[in-house]
């Protein structure tokens, strides 16, 4: 049986750690690509990772490269490439720079792996995945953003910490844009089957939701010189697994919604069934009035982001 070929574009902390998780889970053979200041950097990281295989007991092959020809024929391409926001850099500067990087990467992926499924991890996520769709020209089912899995993981972590229970017993869902406007779904949150509203009062639940929204910023504040990468990479690996193993996982992802939830052609976090075809179905839930209002607010924020990006790109 042929192994899946997984290419990770961007060999920084998130990209390299995604390669690490995917290799340790034996999801396929992995190509780690970057265009760094030192050309051998991705080769060094790949070789280091390969040398952990005899210890950890996995047989995935990891190749480091700066040449997109090495990624040809990939089944899944994970895009983590982009810059982090630096002191003094405006939101528009970040948006413009990363949109240009995404345009370049998506064009290369279109040429080298026209049948791949793309998972976008780069920020600002909702805009970057929209850009990847436009430039690649792929069907929207094959261009997905990693956001909901990470956001939900943070939400579940904080709930488990507050309740003193295993994270395995917590089932939860967040929707909407990635970041401050994400929408908690208390009606879809339970602990061992018990609705979370029976275990936590509203004020405590609100504070946990707020911490989940700001989860990335909290880590940036603690690290001082970097941002989160273990959890974002693990979330990405879960999505890769669902695709290469055709697991039909029902998980939240940034998916392209047209008529669904009356979004009108934008990427937002929604529950999807993820399998070998990418987004095989968007699951539409019956939202409460408050959830509808919060979700629409989040969608509006995504639309504003896309308009800003297109203006910066002169489109």
Residues with a catalytic annotation lie at 178
- DSSP of the chain, one letter per residue? -PPPEEEEE--SHHHHHHHHHHHHTT-SEEEEE---SSTTHHHHHHHHHHTTHHHHT----EEEES-GGGGTT-SEEEE--SPPP-TT--HHHHHHHHHHHHHHHHHHHHHH-TTPEEEE--SSHHHHHHHHHHHH---GGGEEE--HHHHHHHHHHHHHHHHT--GGGEE--EEBSSSTT-EE-GGG-EETTEEGGGTS-HHHHHHHHHHHHTHHHHHHHHHSS----HHHHHHHHHHHHHHHTT--EEEEEEEEESSGGG--SEEEEEEEEEETTEEEEEPPP---HHHHHHHHHHHHHHHHHHHHHHHHTT-
Nearest of 233, 224, 229 to residue 86 by alpha carbon: 224
Structure tokens that stand for 253 in this block:
């992802």
Distance from C-alpha of 264 to C-alpha of 250, rounded to nearest angstrom: 22
Please answer whether residues 155 and 174 qualify as being in contact, where contact means their C-beta atoms are separated by less than 8 angstroms: yes
């Amino acid at each position: 049986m042929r192994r899946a070929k997984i290419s990770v574009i961007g060999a920084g902390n998130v990209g390299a750690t995604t390669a690490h998780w995917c290799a340790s889970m034996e999801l396929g053979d992995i190509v780690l690509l970057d265009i760094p200041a030192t050309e051998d950097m991705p080769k060094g990281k790949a070789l280091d990772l390969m040398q952990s295989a005899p210890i950890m007991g996995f047989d995935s092959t990891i190749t480091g490269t700066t040449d997109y020809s090495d990624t040809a024929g990939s089944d899944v391409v994970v895009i983590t490439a982009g810059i982090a926001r630096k002191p003094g850099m405006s939101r528009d500067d970040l948006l413009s720079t990363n949109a240009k990087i995404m345009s370049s990467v998506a064009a290369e992926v279109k040429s080298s792996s026209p049948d791949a499924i793309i998972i976008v991890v780069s920020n600002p996520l909702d805009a970057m995945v929209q850009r990847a769709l436009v430039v690649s020209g792929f069907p929207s089912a094959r261009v997905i953003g990693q956001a909901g899995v990470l956001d939900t993981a943070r939400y579940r972590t904080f709930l488990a910490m507050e309740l003193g229970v295993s994270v395995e017993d917590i089932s939860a869902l967040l929707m909407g844009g990635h970041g401050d406007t994400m929408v908690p779904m208390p009606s879809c949150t339970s602990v061992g089957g018990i609705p979370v509203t029976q275990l936590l009062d509203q004020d405590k639940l609100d504070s946990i939701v707020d911490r989940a929204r700001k989860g990335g910023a909290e880590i940036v504040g603690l690290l001082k010189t970097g941002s989160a990468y273990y959890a974002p990479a693990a979330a990405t690996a879960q999505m890769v697994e669902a695709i290469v193993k055709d697991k039909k996982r029902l998980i939240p992802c940034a998916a392209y919604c047209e008529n669904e939830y009356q979004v009108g052609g934008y990427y937002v976090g929604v529950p999807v069934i993820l399998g070998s075809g990418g987004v095989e179905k968007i699951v539409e839930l019956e939202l409460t009035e408050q959830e509808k209002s919060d979700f629409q607010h989040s969608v509006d924020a995504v639309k504003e982001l896309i308009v800003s990006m297109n203006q910066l790109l002169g489109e």
